[in-house]
Structure 1
Amino acid sequence: MSAASLPLPARLDLPAAAPLREALLGHEGKPLSIDASPCESVGTPGLQVLLAAAKSWREAGVSLSVDGLSEDCAAQLAIFGLSPDDLCSKELAE
């Protein structure tokens, strides 16, 4: 099954968190590729939504990837002690 793609907003902050959650729920249980290339800033509320999604996809055994994360956003993740891999599920098709 081919993964759908979901773009992140430019600012992944409090106002963006609820719409992102709703968009993710629409893809629940299906392979998903999150396009992080538009994202310039990652805040705690958006990060919580992404971490919850990664956990849900991981538990369901479904592929979730975050692609195109900028160096600035990766540096913001590092402040929280996270890496881009923490936002993904590592399920591989057998």
Structure 2
Amino acid sequence: MSVASQTEIGQMQLPENLDLTAVTPLHKDLVSMRGSELVVDASAVERLGGQCVQLLLSASKSWAEDGVSFQIENASDSFLSAIALLGVEPDSLHVKEQPQ
């Protein structure tokens, strides 16, 4: 069972809890999507651990090196707070700003 549900090619919905137990399934999901443009929906995220942040940063860099678009949309307040607490800028994860 995967941690993130794929709604269609190039789109991924992150689950509510991205703790240490979510790292391996999330990694598998990301590896399976490598090479295609990817939009990650982070609207449901309530808990986000450092290991998953590192994995998302690595994915963002890998997609950039491949010359393929990687973007996080609909980031929840919890997602944004967690990355801020870890000193990660939203731009480094390609977090798309939500319209005001």
Category of TM-score, reference length = shorter chain: 0.7 to 0.9
Counterpart Cα distance in 2 of 1:18 and 1:87? 19
Whether the 8 Å contact between 1:74 and 1:83 is mirrored in structure 2 is: no
Whether the 8 Å contact between 2:45 and 2:78 is mirrored in structure 1 is: no
CA RMSD of aligned residues (A): 1.5
**Partner residue of 2:65?**
59
1:53-92 C-alpha deviation (Å, 9 max, x unpaired): 0010011110000011112221111111112221129xxx
**Partner residue of 1:84?**
90
Counterpart Cα distance in 2 of 1:38 and 1:68? 9
Alignment partner for residue 71 of structure 1, among 71, 77, 80?
Answer: 77
**Partner residue of 2:15?**
9
Structure 2, unpaired ranges of 5+: 1-8, 96-100
Whether the 8 Å contact between 1:66 and 1:84 is mirrored in structure 2 is: no
Alignment partner for residue 30 of structure 1, among 36, 48, 54?
Answer: 36
The residue type paired with residue 67 of structure 1 is E
Is the aligned partner of 1:41 residue 2:60?
A: no
The residue type paired with residue 32 of structure 1 is L
Counterpart Cα distance in 1 of 2:78 and 2:18? 13
Structure number with the bigger relative contact order (C-alpha 8 A, sep ≥ 6) is 1
Q: Which runs of 4+ in 1 moved over 4 A?
A: none
Structure 1, unpaired ranges of 5+: 90-94
TM-score normalised over the length of structure 2? 0.80
